[in-house]
Amino acid sequence: MNILPSATVHHANHWTGSKTPLLRFLERCYQDFVTENAGNVADYIPELGKADPARFGISLATIDGHVYEVGDSRIPFTIQSMSKPFVFALALDTLGAERVERAIGVEPSGDPFNSIRLNAENHPFNPMVNAGAIACSGLIHESKGAGAFDYIRQALGRFAGRELSMDEAVYASESATGDRNRAIGYLLRNSGVVTDDVNAVLDVYFRQCSVLVTARDIAVMAATLANRGINPVTGEQVMTPYAISRTLSVMTSSGMYDYAGEWIYRVGIPAKSGVGGGILASLPARLGLGSYSPKLDKHGNSVRGIKVCEALSSHYDLHMMNRNDNARNSIIADYDLGQSPSRRSRRPHEQRLLAAHHHDVRIIELMGTLTFANIDYVSRQIAAKPRPSFIIFDLRRVAVITRPAGRLLAEGFRELAAFNVTAILSGIERSSPTWQAIAEWTEGISNLRNFRLLDDCIEWAEDQIVYRYSGAIDSHAMTELSEQPLLAGLSAQELTDLASLGTIRNYEAGTTIIAASEPPLSLFFLKSGIVHVRLPNGVRIATLTAGMAFGEMALLEAHRSADVLADKSVTALEVPLADFQRFREQRPRVGERIMHNLAQLLADRLIVANTKVSVLTAS
Ligand code: GLN
């Protein structure tokens, strides 16, 4: 076998500098098990008998594509039976599940890998034993003919993330001695599972078993299985999620042959071994492990490789059946309009309407990964209270929506729509993966909206409530100065005097009316239209409608702290600050009244801000 001497334990010599705990753990496995000398190198394929029994390499690939390596992780060896899961996945995707599942079973045989026994239908028990694997190679041969091996080699390379070659000597050695596998091939042809020339099919099988890999390659291949078929290093979707999940299923029940039950009971990580000394272990959504050590136990599984898998599983408690999830941890806040209205200042009659109907808009802020369990919990929280007209789901802190959760969430939206409840989503873009997770299921749901900002969602829902109960949103209505809360308590004469100091101004939508960078020179009373107040960092802190004042903070501060922009075409009375100050000074009672009103407005804002903070920090 050709060995790359330069790669030998070069990682072991660089065990300096800062290391992650997982790398230290793998190093400890190497130290602990390198002294393990039980087992024998396979020699029924004569060329395999030449392997150096001292070799020991471990590699672990994470699903974010980081690859840890210890010891002989770059020494090539033949993949042997570890090719079986990948060729099974390839057959599923190439010929379709129906064709493959008709030829090959998925029951564990409880037999050794080279068993000649077939199931009751004279088909292979499963694709992890030789009979099933030869049948898979036969299916690929049926479809690709003379190109079958190269087709397989390239697919294996996509799993590994690099082009793989073949060990000619091992291939020749197995081809010369592989009569037992030929016998299986003839048996399969006899029962119609193999339809092509047996020797041609066996040639594909022997070649695929002789493909050269390293522990590192195996780790990446295993991580690709763990990652629903996306190679975490190259990012390529190598096979369909269907093929991958079915492949992991048969690895779980049959990957370790007549040790499979014991293995999944004790270690709990789907795995596959090869007589070349490799073990591949793939823990879905977590990691892929590859190990290389040529001495095998009586089942044909690498002795040290098994020890590494056992240690990994027990040390980190990674048994796949040993998992839980907290269904309740995704709701960070659940409140209604009463506790957190939008930043839009409403006129008194609108405020009264919204206060009376605050239960009608419910806001649920979610975070983290949304799973099936989380979304079911959310559904029950919704069902537990009287149905509002609007439910806002704030998803800005949601990192991932799993597929099952996406479906359940969409079913929830459909349920709400049937009762005329509008679901409003905030914090996700239509192009985001989070949206994609639900988009597939939400088609045709009429009562579903989305806005980027939570405040926009709340404001929109408030408008709907106002419209529903008052029949109109009067954003174009002209208001009088007497409606200004800042001027409450002034006499008609005082208001007329004040109006005479100012000038009526009109602004187009989008105009900057006040710039934070400019000195404060005037005060504005909004007569019609909508403006918003925006901090220099772009955050919108308030939306104001007819009847409100802006620029009024200049009565307290010598600097502007925010911009004010017109949202819709705006009419406002602009009063120069100097004139306003003089007006106040000439009428001390009025001046005191206005400052009292200002204090009241600021106190109201503070109360709203405090409620919002407490909604988010309570629980
Ligand atoms: N090529 C080997 C054989 O068919 C593969 C067996 C194995 O790795 N378990 O005998």
The number of beta carbons lying within 10 Å of the beta carbon of residue 395 is 24
Distance CA 55, CA 76 (A): 11
174 C-beta closer than 6 A to ligand 1: yes
Model pLDDT, residue 10: 42
Query: How remote is the CA of residue 205 from the centroid of ligand 1, in Å?
Result: 9
Query: How remote is the CA of residue 483 from the centroid of ligand 1, in Å?
Result: 88
95 and 200 inside one domain = yes
The full 3-state SS of 46-76, as one line of letters, equals HHHHHCCCCCCEEEEEECCCCEEEEECCCCC
Cα→Cα distances 124→127, 189, 191, 376, Å: 7, 12, 10, 41
Residue at 16 is within a domain:
no
Mean pLDDT throughout 456-462?
A: 93
Residue bearing the CA closest to ligand 1, atom 6: 81
pLDDT tens, residue by residue, 330-385? 999 999 999 999 988 888 888 999 999 999 999 999 999 999 999 999 999 999 99
Distance CA 575, CA 578 (A): 9
Distance CA 97, CA 91 (A): 8
77 and 132 inside one domain = yes
Residue at 10 is within a domain:
no
- Closest by CA to 139, choosing from 183, 87, 178, is 87
pLDDT tens, residue by residue, 1-10? 444 433 444 4
Segments in 471-587 forming alpha helices (H) = 492-501, 577-586
State which ligand 1 atom lies nearest to the alpha carbon of 45.
10
Query: How remote is the CA of residue 509 from the centroid of ligand 1, in Å?
Result: 75
Segments in 14-54 forming alpha helices (H) = 21-33
pLDDT tens, residue by residue, 408-454? 999 999 999 999 999 999 998 888 888 888 888 888 888 899 998 99
Q: Is the pLDDT of residue 471 over 90?
A: no
Residue at 594 is within a domain:
yes
Query: How remote is the CA of residue 144 from the centroid of ligand 1, in Å?
Result: 23
Cα→Cα distances 166→150, 222, 613, Å: 10, 20, 64
113 C-beta closer than 6 A to ligand 1: yes
460 and 357 inside one domain = yes
pTM: 0.80
Greater confidence, 391 or 436? 391
Task: Read off the CATH number of the domain in which 349 is found.
Answer: 3.30.750.24
440 and 508 inside one domain = no
Greater confidence, 124 or 616? 124
Q: Are 225 and 248 in contact (CB under 8 A)?
A: yes
Beta strands in 63-200, from DSSP E residues, in sequence order? 67-71, 77-78
Residue at 475 is within a domain:
no
376 and 488 inside one domain = no
Q: Is the pLDDT of residue 203 over 70?
A: yes
Q: Is the pLDDT of residue 15 over 50?
A: no
Cα→Cα distances 131→120, 318, 365, 521, Å: 14, 31, 54, 89
Model pLDDT, residue 504: 94
Cα→Cα distances 128→110, 111, 183, 486, 500, Å: 11, 11, 17, 80, 91
Mean pLDDT throughout 111-138?
A: 95
Amino acid at 200: A
Distance CA 531, CA 172 (A): 81
Q: Three-state SS for 558?
A: coil
> pLDDT class for 619, splitting at 50, 70, 90?
low
Model pLDDT, residue 62: 97
Greater confidence, 11 or 224? 224
> pLDDT class for 13, splitting at 50, 70, 90?
very low
332 and 316 inside one domain = no
State which ligand 1 atom lies nearest to the alpha carbon of 276.
8
Distance CA 232, CA 221 (A): 9
Domain count, the chain: 3
175 C-beta closer than 6 A to ligand 1: no
Of 438, 470, 502, the position where a domain reaches its end is 470
Distance CA 275, CA 254 (A): 16
Residue at 449 is within a domain:
yes
Greater confidence, 313 or 474? 313
The helix (run of H) or strand (run of E) holding residue 144 is helix 130-144
Containing structural domain, residue 406: 327-470
538 and 443 inside one domain = no
- Closest by CA to 9, choosing from 34, 41, 38, 39, is 34
Ligand 1, pocket-test mutation among 152, 209, 251, most atoms within 8 A of CB: 209
Residue bearing the CA closest to ligand 1, atom 10: 114
Residue at 6 is within a domain:
no
Model pLDDT, residue 475: 58
Model pLDDT, residue 468: 85
φ, ψ of residue 76 in degrees (nearest 5): -75, 145
Model pLDDT, residue 4: 42
Q: What is the DSSP string of 353-365?
A: HHHHTGGGEEEEE
What percentage of the chain reaches a pLDDT higher than 70?
96
Model pLDDT, residue 377: 96
349 and 315 inside one domain = no
492 and 407 inside one domain = no
392 C-beta closer than 6 A to ligand 1: no
210 C-beta closer than 6 A to ligand 1: no
Model pLDDT, residue 618: 64
Model pLDDT, residue 86: 98
Distance CA 280, CA 58 (A): 10
Of 470, 502, 522, the position where a domain reaches its end is 470
DSSP letter assigned to residue 210: T
Of 322, 341, 372, the position where a domain reaches its end is 322
130 C-beta closer than 6 A to ligand 1: yes
Least confident of 25-39, 450-464, 605-619: 605-619
142 and 207 inside one domain = yes
Query: How remote is the CA of residue 497 from the centroid of ligand 1, in Å?
Result: 100
DSSP letter assigned to residue 346: P
Query: 288 has which bridge partners?
Result: 61, 282
81 C-beta closer than 6 A to ligand 1: yes
The helix (run of H) or strand (run of E) holding residue 377 is helix 372-383
The two beta strands, 540-545 and 57-62, are: unpaired
Q: Three-state SS for 594?
A: helix
413, with CB counted inside 10 A (0-12, 13-18, 19+), is buried
> pLDDT class for 474, splitting at 50, 70, 90?
low
Model pLDDT, residue 472: 63
What the block records as the tokens of 508 is 């187009």
The number of beta carbons lying within 10 Å of the beta carbon of residue 351 is 14
Residue bearing the CA closest to ligand 1, atom 2: 80
Distance CA 137, CA 156 (A): 13
Task: Read off the CATH number of the domain in which 532 is found.
Answer: 2.60.120.10
109 and 239 inside one domain = yes
286 and 403 inside one domain = no
Q: What is the mean pLDDT of the chain?
A: 92
Distance CA 102, CA 50 (A): 39
Task: Read off the CATH number of the domain in which 313 is found.
Answer: 3.40.710.10
Residue at 56 is within a domain:
yes
Model pLDDT, residue 610: 86
Residue bearing the CA closest to ligand 1, atom 4: 130
Beta strands in 127-277, from DSSP E residues, in sequence order? 212-213, 271-273
